[in-house]
Amino acid sequence: DFDLTAPFQTAFTTRDQHEHRHKVRPVQIIAPSSTQPGKFRLNESALNSVLGHSACANKKIVIISVAGAFRKGKSFLLNFFLEYLYSLHKSQQSDSSLEWLTDDCQLHGFHWRAGVKRDTVGIWLWGEPIMIESVTGEMFAVVLMDTQGTFDNNSTYQQCMTVFALSTIVSSVQIYNVVDNIQEDALQHLSLFVEYGRIAMEQPHNFGKPFQQLVFCVRDFKNQEEYEFGENGGTDFLDNVLQTNPEQPEEIKQVRELLREYFEDIQCYLLPHPGYKVAERQSFRGHVKDLRPLFREELKKMVPNLLGPHILKPKIVNGKTVTCRKMIQYFKEYAASFDG
Ligand code: GDP
Ligand code: MG
């Protein structure tokens, strides 16, 4: 049997997909409670709208989260992830070669902004999972997570801790976004947050390490004479930051040991400054040709290294891989456990 409409169908589908993507937005699933200061509420209908569709409900889920203080380029970075994943999806569907971050590309999706006015504290998901075929041929539902934290005062610190802990618990990859360096206080916050998360999730000990992958992403790294940009320099840099020795004070050692004990894998990427148009211009609209070429090059290497089909690992909870449907339930349980 011939289906004469098939080629047209394909053409339409591609165009529809393109238009469809422009309609998708991030949705806030965790927001500060309006009645109880310092507490959060889970937006269940938003969560269901992302993970509850029949097309993905039974697929294994991969959650990529970006966390850290505000105004450090987290949302901007996520748009590179979107660009890569949608291009990868398209190339897999049409069996064509993967092209992304081309000269004509304009980054969009997660809202980034100049200035000092911050977004509300909370957790956002990209409005739909992006389906990626892994090396084994299995389809994974890849979900991007944007978080917003701040250390302004006691109540926001508590919120920040909750946001960080919750996003660490649910993600396959937690990207800790910092600027310039990995400072001691950034490590201390991190270890406090993950400890808080580990207690909240109450995982039995026999299931191995509680969390999967931690990636330090150092923005505007300046010391490239000593450490080269990207993964190689990042690995050396991180080894140096996380090394322990008997002379160190006990608390410095503990922070490092805790991170190694809690995460299966820890990586680090050093990124160059993105160029003055990105960093200083209100008029920057996401055009890839406005990026500093060195920055673009490093992102072209880093993103496939984090999200490539051979790299993606579904979320595992208590030793079992998790589907989108199951994840909805975990979100509810974890969010409730932070409520006490
Ligand atoms: P977020 O609050 O951490 O999500 O930060 P945004 O993604 O909203 O970015 C805040 C500002 O920093 C925007 O004006 C971006 O254009 C700019 N920006 C994005 N990435 C970088 C970077 O790597 N270095 C610098 N210096 N600025 C950046
Ligand atoms: Mg942001």
Task: Tell whether the torsion through CA atoms of 310, 315, 320 and 321 is positive or negative.
Answer: negative
Give 34's DSSP letter: S
Q: Which atom of ligand 1 is nearest to the CA of 146?
A: 4
- 77 CA from centroid of ligand 1 (Å): 8
Whether this model's ipTM surpasses 0.90 comes out as: yes
Residue located nearest, by CA, to atom 26 of ligand 1: 279
pLDDT values of the chain reduced to their tens digit, one per residue, 340 residues: 333 333 344 444 556 666 788 899 999 999 988 888 778 899 999 999 999 999 999 999 999 999 988 889 999 999 999 999 999 999 999 999 999 999 999 999 998 887 766 666 789 999 999 999 999 999 999 999 999 876 666 667 788 888 999 999 999 999 999 999 999 999 999 999 999 888 887 766 667 899 999 999 999 999 999 999 999 999 999 999 999 989 999 999 999 999 999 999 999 999 999 999 999 888 899 999 999 999 999 999 999 999 999 999 999 998 899 999 999 999 999 988 877 5
Structure tokens at 68: 């850290």
Cα 230 to averaged position of ligand 1 atoms, centre (Å): 18
Q: Which residues line ligand 1 (CB under 6 A)?
A: 70-76, 112-114, 219-220, 273-274, 278-279, 284
d(CA 229, CA 236): 11
DSSP 283: T
Query: 172 CA distance to ligand 1 centroid (A)?
Result: 24
Give the ligand at the shortest distance from the Cα of 279. 1
Question: Which tokens in the block code for residue 46?
Answer: 């938003």
What is the token pair recorded at 99?
């092209």
Q: Which ligand is nearest to the CA of 124?
A: 2
Q: Pairing relation of β-strands 60-67 and 173-179?
A: parallel
Distance separating alpha carbons of residues 44 and 226, to the nearest angstrom: 48
DSSP per-residue codes, 113-163: --SSPPPPSEEEEESSPEEEE-TTS-EEEEEEEEEEB--SSHHHHHHHHHH
Give me ligand 1 centre to Cα 271, in Å: 13
- Give the residue whose CA is nearest to atom 16 of ligand 1: 278
pLDDT for res 154: 65
Question: pTM for the full model?
Answer: 0.93
Q: β-strands 26-32, 263-270: how paired?
A: unpaired
Q: How far is the CA of 144 from the centre of ligand 2 (A)?
A: 13
Ligand 1 atom nearest the C-alpha of 278 is 16
Q: Measuring from atom 11 of ligand 1, which residue has the nearest CA?
A: 114
Q: Closest ligand 1 atom, CA of 72? A: 3
